[in-house]
Amino acid sequence: MKAWGPQWPNPLRNAAPYSGQTSADLADDVDALLAACGREIIREHVPRVAGEAECLARHFGVDPLAARTAALLHDLGGVVPREDMVALCESLNLPVLAEERQVPLLLHAALSVVIARDRYGVHDPGVLQAIRVHTTLHARPTPLDLVVFLADKLEWDQGGAPPYAAELRAALGAACTRAPTGCWRGWPRPRAACCCRTRT
């Protein structure tokens, strides 16, 4: 178990060790941590992204559990105040680019990886990479990277529908309206029927 230093928010430092076994346990613990840190916008955003990622994964033949796990954990670095992100990353010996110094919020993805690994015991390199690149992507994304990136952009945290949503859905082949569960019907050659649960 990691000993969280003083630069981490109190709710993370004071949380009981995570002992969950299921995706539902993970979702509940993430929700409780975000609530304890007062991150209501992220708290509302994360389950929507997880549902979208799971549906996209099923449609494109990506492991839905890996997609859901990465999506549930992708924004946990947001529990750290923006003004503390650079110093915290430096104290953890994480690289900080010049652009990240200008826009420290970009570092939340790297901090999310630390929390995913050290609190939740996630060591799958593909899941950790999808968390790390969910904001800016990178030159050679894996299908899992793309699923989490797209789910995050389609279920953004800015309120309302993203201005690019219709165009992006069209580019993805979404000819029909969205299903209530967050996945799209009518995608070309889906690999599996959409079976996502209704989000609460």
**Rounded CA gap, 107 and 21, in Å?**
28
- With a pLDDT cut of 90, the percent of the chain lying above it is 72
Domain ranges of the chain: 21-171
pLDDT of residue 170: 80
**Rounded CA gap, 33 and 179, in Å?**
29
- Residue 198 makes CB contacts below 8 A (sequence gap 6+) with 180, 181
**Rounded CA gap, 7 and 76, in Å?**
15
Six token digits for residue 82: 């923006």
Q: What tens digit of pLDDT does each residue of 48-85 get? A: 999 999 988 988 889 999 999 999 999 999 999 999 99
Q: What tens digit of pLDDT does each residue of 131-152 get? A: 999 999 999 999 999 999 999 9
Q: What tens digit of pLDDT does each residue of 139-194 get? A: 999 999 999 999 999 988 888 888 998 888 787 764 223 433 444 443 333 333 33
pTM: 0.85
pLDDT of residue 197: 31
**Rounded CA gap, 181 and 104, in Å?**
33
**CA-angle at 2, arms to 53 and 86, nearest 5°:** 70
* pLDDT, average across residues 104-118: 98
8 Å CB contact between 50 and 44? no
Calculate the CA dihedral of residues 96, 44, 164, 141 and round it to 10 degrees: 50
Has domain 21-171 been given CATH number 1.10.3210.10?
A: yes
**Rounded CA gap, 45 and 143, in Å?**
22
